[in-house]
């Protein structure tokens, strides 16, 4: 009897401890999901101010809110906008540094607003049915160019009333076109004033709103990215056949005269050509290009080319000495600059427009994600992060290149136990050198063996870097606190290691990826760092696919989680919205080479599956459609493998609302607790942390 009581007591104590630990973890989940982030810095033309976006979590409305903050030299940054139940995004400066224009969804659609840098109320600039897609200030006057969808609302309404709802695959899309609008500050009606209407033109007291002017039109092309010429007389734009996702394969570059709307084609070659950038003298245009490649551009390097703005010469390649994707290109009176990755770091490069040669000129912080230059090119703002920081906004000059942080997002984690992260390296089965990020607990003891959690990034051309906090759907920081190691491998195909490395999993998807993951596990085991009887693996998208491949091709893990993963390449190929991805990586269709589709599909070896597998998927995922999840789920059930499929309702490829993201984190926490720690699961989650209040200083209503 006393033994039974003792056993019951010990079980009760251990269960209570696990329950308490789960409640503490829940609090930490919410705390991490509530961390604010800063991004998209835009420096004023005179170099004295920086506008940037801050993203926060609105738990009550179950959404992520974005607002614009402003930094002025010598003063702490402050929140400039407040959009109730909406967001303010894409801040852009007028040429005179007096105004900040931005997009906000204050009614239903995104419209352009503007606010004085000195403060005050925001003024609505556009009132466009269907909303604005993107916009840009003229470099010489208070005028904006913007793109919006061409829609025939009456035709749509008539069709719906007659035939109801239907859609023809690959034929239902809107075309986007360029418009301009002269901006007249303080001309918009106040509440007591009356705007002019068609039947009130003789009313001298009414306020005449500025009218937009359409630059491009027609259903034979759609406008994507665009850029004003330095003199404001022309706009170079990316032109594609349709607005559909895959139409970028056909994109070319055209230039339009703002005055007479004459369009001339500047670049028209097979494959992608886009994101035009003018030289400061207006004589050249640089742009990104696949250089005619339509068969391997998903994994091979793109090119940076330049061409005379009048089209008088053939394009010339520049920055060919960078063996990686070059992006975020800027060309100003001080030089040409861009970003490119080197392994787990991302640096600022200076490119000589004449010779095409490049050099890395800024390596601190470790990863720079965005740049913005003043008009003369001497001052800049940047967004970046190093291994122990959250992403911050920095300012510096091209004379010193010594960034100074103007934001302080990292203070949010100063009291958290976040462990450490470092880059490690090992050789894969075919001797390919693989790197990964190894996270260790704060109290790491090299004499101990730890449970191992393997978290696999998507892409496959994604990249993992050292970081103090990870906050998507995998509770990495809580596992560190619980006493585990976390490995995030940069398997073959990852960005940062050059074109040849990104090509290593062509016709070898899953197979080579598994070599890289398992050789990393073996490396840690050889170092006597891990308990190989307590290992889990997981990932989302391409990481979910690799996790599914592990589930059916090895039994070395005690539990696996497959997030939005591919289970069968044929199923994926006929359902996805990016069919060329599969054709490029497998270099065939399933009808041409069924063997390579079978070799690389997790379902092929479903009979070998034995690892308990959690499957998470968005109901409306178009990138990796949900039939992949159902196929894996049914196959595992038929093999009598412990499995659970969780469908997140009304979500696509990502979980982009905080409550459902919290649920996904909780589901992973429960799954691995059960199989690696043998702990009981709780069915409900109680909120145990006060949600951060939104900044209620409403400077802009």
In a domain, 460, yes or no: yes
Find residue 543's DSSP bridge partners. none
Please indicate, yes or no, if residue 693 is contained in any of the structural domains. Answer: no
Of residues 120 and 200, which shows the higher confidence score? 120
Cα distance between residue 297 and residue 295, in whole Å = 6
pLDDT at 13 over 90: no
Average pLDDT, the chain: 90
> What local confidence, expressed as pLDDT, does residue 698 receive?
42
Residue 202's pLDDT is: 53
**Which of the four pLDDT bands, split at 50, 70 and 90, describes residue 171?**
confident
Q: What is the pLDDT of residue 687?
A: 40
Supply the pLDDT for residue 684. Answer: 52
Say if 126 falls within a structural domain: no
- Side by side, which strands form the sheet with 284-289? 273-278, 284-289, 303-308, 316-318
Which has more confidence, 366 or 192?
A: 366
Q: Identify the pLDDT of residue 691.
A: 42
CATH number, domain with residue 560: 3.40.50.1820
Domain count, the chain: 1
- Is-above-0.85 flag for pTM? yes
- Alpha-carbon distance of 449 to 251, in angstroms, equals 53
- The SS3 of residue 628 is helix
Helix, strand, coil % over all residues of the chain, rounded to 5:
20, 30, 45
End-to-end CA distance of the chain: 70
At residue 20, does pLDDT exceed 70? no
Q: Specify if 639 maps to a domain.
A: yes
Helix (H) or strand (E) holding 627: helix 627-638
Q: Which domain holds residue 532?
A: 416-676
Query: Higher-confidence residue: 572 or 247?
Result: 572
395 assigned to some structural domain? no
* Residue 652 domain-assigned (yes or no): yes
Residue 620 resides in a domain: yes
């Amino acid at each position: 009897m006393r033994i039974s009581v003792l056993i019951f007591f010990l079980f009760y104590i251990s269960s209570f401890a696990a329950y308490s630990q789960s409640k503490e973890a829940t609090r930490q989940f919410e705390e991490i999901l509530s961390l604010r982030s800063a991004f998209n810095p835009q420096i004023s033309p005179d170099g004295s101010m920086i506008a940037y976006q801050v993203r926060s979590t609105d738990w009550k409305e179950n959404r992520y809110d974005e607002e614009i903050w402003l930094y002025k030299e010598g003063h702490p940054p402050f929140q400039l906008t407040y959009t109730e139940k909406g967001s303010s995004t894409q801040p852009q400066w007028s040429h005179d540094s007096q105004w900040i224009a931005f997009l906000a969804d204050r009614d239903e659609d995104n419209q352009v607003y503007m606010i004085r840098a000195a403060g005050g109320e925001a003024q609505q600039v556009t009132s466009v049915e269907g909303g604005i897609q993107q916009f840009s200030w003229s470099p010489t006057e208070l005028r904006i160019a913007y793109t919006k969808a061409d829609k025939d609302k009456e035709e749509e309404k008539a069709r719906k009333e007659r035939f109801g709802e239907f859609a023809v695959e690959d034929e239902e899309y809107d075309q986007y076109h360029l418009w301009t609008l002269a901006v007249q500050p303080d001309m918009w009606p106040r509440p007591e004033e009356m705007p002019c209407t068609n039947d009130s033109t003789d009313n001298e007291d009414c306020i005449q709103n500025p009218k937009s002017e359409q630059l491009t039109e027609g259903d034979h092309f759609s406008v994507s990215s665009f850029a004003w010429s330095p003199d404001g007389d022309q706009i170079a734009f990316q032109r594609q056949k349709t607005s559909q996702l895959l139409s970028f394969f056909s994109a070319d570059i055209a230039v339009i005269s703002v005055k007479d709307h004459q369009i001339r084609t500047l670049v028209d070659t097979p494959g992608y050509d886009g994101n035009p950038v003018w030289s400061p003298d207006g004589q050249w245009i640089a742009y990104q290009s696949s250089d005619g490649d339509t068969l391997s551009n998903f994994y091979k390097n793109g090119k940076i080319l330049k061409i005379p703005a009048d089209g008088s010469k053939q394009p010339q390649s520049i920055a060919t000495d960078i063996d990686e994707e070059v992006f975020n290109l800027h060309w100003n009176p001080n030089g040409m600059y861009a970003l490119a990755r080197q392994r787990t770091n991302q640096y600022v490069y200076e490119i000589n427009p004449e010779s095409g040669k490049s050099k890395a000129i800024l390596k601190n912080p470790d990863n720079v994600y965005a740049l913005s230059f003043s008009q003369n090119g001497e001052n800049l703002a940047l967004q970046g992060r190093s291994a122990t920081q959250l992403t911050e906004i920095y300012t510096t000059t091209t004379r010193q290149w010594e960034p100074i942080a103007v934001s302080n997002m990292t203070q949010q984690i100063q009291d958290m136990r976040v462990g450490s992260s470092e880059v490690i390296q090992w050789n894969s089965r075919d001797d390919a050198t693989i790197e990964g990020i190894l996270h260790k607990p704060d109290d790491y003891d090299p004499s101990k063996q730890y449970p191992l959690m393997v978290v696999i990034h998507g892409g496959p051309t994604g990249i993992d870097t050292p970081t103090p906090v990870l906050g998507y759907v995998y509770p990495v920081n809580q596992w560190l606190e619980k006493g585990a190691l976390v490995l995030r491998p940069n398997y073959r195909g990852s960005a940062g290691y050059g074109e040849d490395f990104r090509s290593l999993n062509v016709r070898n998807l899953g197979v080579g990826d598994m070599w890289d993951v398992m050789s990393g596990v073996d490396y840690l085991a050889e170092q006597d760092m891990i308990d190989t009887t307590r290992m889990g693996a997981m990932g989302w998208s391409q990481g979910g696919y690799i996790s599914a491949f592990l589930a059916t091709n090895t039994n070395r893990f005690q539990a696996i989680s497959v997030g939005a993963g591919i289970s069968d390449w044929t199923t994926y190929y006929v359902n996805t919205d990016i069919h060329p991805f599969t054709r490029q990586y497998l270099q065939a269709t399933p009808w041409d080479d069924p063997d390579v589709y079978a070799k690389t599909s997790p379902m092929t070896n479903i009979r070998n599956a034995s690892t308990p597998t959690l499957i998470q998927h968005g109901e409306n995922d178009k990138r990796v459609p949900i039939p992949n999840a159902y196929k894996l789920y049914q196959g595992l059930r038929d093999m009598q493998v412990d499995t659970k499929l969780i469908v997140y309702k009304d979500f696509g490829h990502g979980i982009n609302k905080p409550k459902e993201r919290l649920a996904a984190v909780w589901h992973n926490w429960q799954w691995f607790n059960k199989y690696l720690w043998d702990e009981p699961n709780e069915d409900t989650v109680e909120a145990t942390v006060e949600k951060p209040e939104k900044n209620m200083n409403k400077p802009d209503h």
